[in-house]
Amino acid sequence: MITGKFPNLRLRRSRKNDWSRRLIEENNLTSSDFILPIFLIEGKNKKQKISSMPGVYRYTLDKLSPFIEKAIRNKIPMIALFPYTNSRKKNELGTESLNEDNLVCKAIRLIKKKYKDQIGIMCDVALDPYTSHGHDGLLKSGYVLNDETIQMLINQSLVQAQMGCDVIAPSDMMDGRIGEIRKALDKNGLKMTQILSYAVKYASSYYGPFRDAVGSKRLLRGDKKNYQMDFRNSDEALREVALDIKEGADMVMVKPGLPYLDIIKSVKEKFKIPVMAYQVSGEYSLLENSVNKNLVHKDIILENLISFKRAGANAIISYYADRLNDIIK
């Protein structure tokens, strides 16, 4: 496959000038490659710092508009909503997830009313923002129940879709939930609501700052290894994706991102479907803190983001998605 021989062939010839490097570039980023995550908090007039994620904030609904309008102006295709839930609204079963007036539902209604289809809305389906134990499903003797949790997830999906959410994103890793959610959506006149399955989600230490951002960190009992994937495995990731495609997923997510570029690449090569990469909170924190401390140059951010495209991702969920102008130029 590799042809040519030195000195006739000099790969450095095409690297010599900026115009030439741009001419032969294989990958690039535009704002259409991004999904912007937004953390919501109850109350009024707050834009609250998240200490483990410098540069990222929690917004009350009345403070959201400028942030969303900027995303629309910059042609970001979709936002992802994540609620910080007050601990008095949490319980063992996570029932606040089904409340039509919970924070996420209020936000969906508000954004859809104001901005219609100028930007897509994606919402996580999982119980962890709402459970008093911080797990994504119903807990029994330290084990997260599968089929019983699916019943909750179906209802959570229906509520969010009925409020106007465009893309339902189950991030819980229960077996069989994509098929059940698809069936329920179709039965309830929500045929066109898309499903982005977090098909490949590893049990990862990279989620720490996110759990802090949504207020589940202190609460979490144990770890999530009996439902999220073991990071020693990659064949298993392909089985997860194959199942979710059969069950009706429109797109799949690989998460975290950077330590799992091999998985992004093989999912894309094997299944030829839209693959999203999640540059998760821990990746963001490591990068942002290191840049702030001048340990590394800020171009490292672009280098990380491009690697997802090189691996084959169609888009990236990134906490940098609100600051792309400085990053991609």
Question: Which parts of 213-242 interact with ligand PBG (CB under 6 A)?
Answer: 224
Q: Does 207 bind ligand PBG (CB under 6 A)?
A: yes
Which residues neighbour 236 within 8 Å (Cβ) at sequence distance 6 or greater? 229, 230
Q: In the bound complex, what is the minimum distance in angstroms from residue 115's beta carbon to ligand PBG?
A: 23
Q: Does 276 bind ligand PBG (CB under 6 A)?
A: no
CA distances from 257 to 53, 78, 204, 231 (A): 17, 18, 11, 12
Q: Is 46 a catalytic residue?
A: no
Question: Which parts of 136-155 interact with ligand PBG (CB under 6 A)?
Answer: 136
Q: Does 210 bind ligand PBG (CB under 6 A)?
A: yes
* Cβ pair 45, 60 in contact under 8 A: yes
Here the tokens at position 31 are 């704002």
Q: Identify each DSSP E strand in 146-186 by its residue range.
A: 167-170
Q: Does 182 bind ligand PBG (CB under 6 A)?
A: no
Tell me the per-residue interface mask from 9 to 48 with ligand PBG, x by CB under 6 A, - otherwise.
----------------------------------------
Range in contact with ligand PBG (rule: CB under 6 A) among 147-155, 156-164, 203-211, 261-269: 203-211
Q: Does 280 bind ligand PBG (CB under 6 A)?
A: yes
Q: Does 281 bind ligand PBG (CB under 6 A)?
A: yes
List the one residue out of 53, 219, 255, 64 whose CA is nearest residue 136.
Answer: 219
Strand pairing class (57-59; 34-40): parallel
CA distances from 236 to 62, 201, 263, 267, 269 (A): 43, 11, 10, 11, 16
Interface ranges with ligand PBG (CB under 6 A): 124, 126, 128, 136, 171, 207, 210-211, 224, 280-281
